Amino acid sequence: MSDEPITIYHNPRCSKSRQTLALLEDAGISPRVIEYLDHPPTAEELATLANQLDMQPGEFIRSKEAAYNQLIPPAGDRSPAELLAAMAANPILIERPIVVRGNRAVLGRPPENVHQLL
């Protein structure tokens, strides 16, 4: 197991986020917890997360949120940079949880994805 610290972008109201945090704690890990709705990442930080996830912004945006449907122009017509800016401005749009270790990250959907970082 790596000695690198783990960070979780966490929403305590989300069951998947709570389950992912519990998996980490059950593995004996005390991650750095960022409640991203209260402390949203910048567009630049989200770009770094996109690289660590090996995903495009459109792959980790919550398309079922009301804020997504209110984007003008619609999300499908936006560039990756515009999607990152929209997520930074409306952090509810960020898929959760995101778990980071070193230069790698995974989405905790399903929560067991976190095992890839342990």
Catalytic residue among 7, 14, 27, 37: 14
Indicate if 14 belongs to the active site.
yes
Confidence at residue 70, expressed as pLDDT on a 0 to 100 scale: 82
Can you give the three-state secondary structure of the chain, one letter per residue?
Answer: CCCCCEEEEECCCCHHHHHHHHHHHHCCCCCEEEECCCCCCCHHHHHHHHHHHCCCHHHCECCCCHHHHCCCCCHHHCCHHHHHHHHHHCHHHECCCEEEECCEEEECCCHHHHHHHC
Mean pLDDT by 10 residues, the chain (118 residues): 87 96 96 97 97 95 87 74 94 96 96 95
Query: What local confidence, expressed as pLDDT, does residue 74 receive?
Result: 63
Q: For the chain, list the domains and their CATH numbers.
A: 6-117 (3.40.30.10)
Does the predicted TM-score (pTM) go above 0.85? yes
What is the structure's pLDDT at 91? 97
Q: What is the pLDDT of residue 73?
A: 63
